[in-house]
Structure 1
Amino acid sequence: MKFPVRLFLILGLASFIIAISTIQPAAEYLLGSEYEVRVINGFKDNSSLPLVIWCSSEDADLGGRALQEHDDFSWKMKTNLWSCNHMKCTMKWDQTRKSFEAFKASRDTYRCGPLKRCFWMVTENGFYISNDEVNWNKDFSW
């Protein structure tokens, strides 16, 4: 009995769509995606003492900034198989220092959401992450 050609094409197309939908994150990682990363000074009152941030990776040194209340430091991250896929930042406030990975492709592909926005708010009691600047989740303390 011959297998109908139309049915074969329909099943092949359906299989292709299912396969692509399951490997989309891997494909984005290989082909590249651009993420917006932003670190916001969320301190209530540090007008006399800024929050200092310094960010770098294997590929780039973004330098340092002194962030006053509500100031931010932002950049775009292009991820792919051939480039560095993380950015590490060191925060300093008074005598307190904390280093953290502001972006790590293997971790942030999902948590930065479909719009690929990774927002950090640094406050007196910790570091918060969001992908919409409305819903903030505490990731870790100082």
Structure 2
Amino acid sequence: MKKCMLLLILGLASYATFISLKQNDFESESYDVRIINGFSNNSSLPLIIWCESEYGGDIGGRALQERDDFSWSVKSGLWKTPLFFCTIKWDGKRKKFEAFRETRDRYRCEKYRQCFWLVKEDGFYFSSDEIAWRKDFSWT
């Protein structure tokens, strides 16, 4: 009898937890990731970019001239925690960085679900609105 009561209580607790989850918790959310060449004068030397997901999904790359961009959409949700890496090369410099990490970016990109990177001579700048830019890290 005690065992049946315990199973009933555990079942009710599990059900209460399940119904308290929002429907959004089971649906995927979409984020737009965009990397922009923000160099002031490199028209003769493009910014080379190549991106891939943690799970081996190659999303490709491009040679970006001034103000060109490379972008893609990311789906996340309860069962997915996406992570995308990009390698950027320019004039002998090379940097691999996390362009989108769901555990980090769901908070800072949440309002518009947009994550922007502006790559400049002195480093990599982040914004969720393309207005307020914050330097996240340098090339080295």
Taking structure 2 as the reference length, what is the TM-score of the superposition? 0.78
Among the aligned pairs, what percent are the same residue?
Answer: 55
Of 59, 63, 66 in structure 1, the residue corresponding to residue 63 of structure 2 is 66
The count of aligned residue pairs is: 120
Q: Structure 1 stretches of 5 or more lacking a match?
A: 1-19
Of 78, 84, 91 in structure 1, the residue corresponding to residue 88 of structure 2 is 91
1:34 correspondence with 2:35:
no
Structure 2 distance, partners of 1:127, 1:104, is: 16
* Structure 1 residue 28, shift from structure 2 partner: 5.0
Structure 2 distance, partners of 1:136, 1:73, is: 18
The one-letter amino acid paired with 1:104 is R
DSSP-derived class of the 1:134 partner: coil
Q: Does the 8 A contact of 1:59 with 1:84 survive in 2?
A: no
DSSP-derived class of the 1:38 partner: strand
Taking structure 1 as the reference length, what is the TM-score of the superposition? 0.77
Structure 1 distance, partners of 2:124, 2:24, is: 27
2:72 corresponds to which residue? 75
1:121 corresponds to which residue? 118
1:85-142 Cα distance to aligned partner (Å, 9 max, x none): 1110000001100000000000001111311100000000000000110100000000
Q: Structure 2 stretches of 5 or more lacking a match?
A: 1-19
1:30-58 Cα distance to aligned partner (Å, 9 max, x none): 53210000000000011110000000011
Q: Tell me the C-alpha RMSD between the 2 structures.
A: 2.0
